[in-house]
Amino acid sequence: IVGAVVAAFLATVGIATFYKAPSCSDNKQNQDETGIDCGGACQYLCTEQKQPPTVLFTKAIKNGEGRIDVIAKVENKNADAAAKNVPYTITVYGEDRSIIQEISGTLDLPPGTSIPVFAPRIPSGKQTVVNAFLEVEQSSPRWFYMSTDSRNIPTVSNIIQIGTLSSPRIEAVLMNSSVTDMSDVKVIVLVHNGTEDVIAASSTIVPVIPAQGKATATFTWNYAFSDIPSSIEVVPIVVLP
C-alpha cells in the first residue's frame, strides 16, 4: 500500500513537472490542428492553405548622388486572410549581379489588397545600380482569418501636382470619416508615366487627421522627374488590428 501511494505521488509530480498541455506554440500538430500550430483551434491558418504573397514589381529610382529610393508593391490574393509584420528583404544589385545593399523590414498584408513598400535614400556609393528586388519568404506570413477589412482608412481626394520642374510637389487631401482622430498616418505616393511605369515615389507622415475632418499630405522632391507624369497614386498605410 505504501509503495502504491509513493508511486501515485511520484506519477502526479512527474505529470505536473513534465507534462505540457497542447497549445498553438508547442511545435506539434495536436489538438484539432490541421498543421503544426495552425488551423483548428489555433489563431493562425496553415500556410499551405493560402496563396503566398506576390511581389508585383520592384523599382530603384536614383535620388541624388550616392543613394537611391526603392519602391515596390506586394499583393495578397487571399480574400479571407491577412498577415501582420511579414518580414521582407530588399536587395540592390550593381553590375555583374554584385550586391550593393541589403535592407530588411516588415509589412502588413490586408486581405485582397496590394500594399506599396517604400525604402528611401539607400546608400549606393559610387557604384551603378542596375536593379533591385524585394523578396518575401513564402513561409514567413502567419495568416489569420479576416473576411472583412475593419480598418479605418482615410479616403484620398484632390490630388494635385504643383511646384517646378526641378522641384516638383504633390499634395493630396485625406478625409477621416470616423468619430475618432487618426494620428501619425503614413502615406506613400507613386508617380506613373504614360506606360504606367513608376518614375518617382515618396512617403510622408500626417500627424493628425481629425475626426470627420481632413488633412493634407505633401510630398516634395529636389530633382526633376525622369518622365512626364501621367497618373498619381496616393496610398495611406494603416496597420492591421
pLDDT value at position 36?
Answer: 85
pLDDT value at position 22?
Answer: 79
The DSSP secondary-structure symbol of 40 reads T
CB 137 within 8 A of CB 176: no
Burial of 85 (0-12, 13-18, 19+ CB in 10 A): middle
pLDDT value at position 57?
Answer: 98
The DSSP secondary-structure symbol of 27 reads S
pLDDT value at position 150?
Answer: 85
Distance from the Cα of residue 162 to its chain's centroid: 29
pLDDT value at position 18?
Answer: 61
Element housing 89 (H / E): strand 81-93
> Which residue positions in the chain have pLDDT lower than 50?
none
pLDDT tens readout for residues 88-106 = 999 999 998 999 999 999 9
Alpha-carbon distance of 66 to 81, in angstroms, equals: 40
Residue of 136, 120, 111 lying closest to 56 (CA atoms): 136
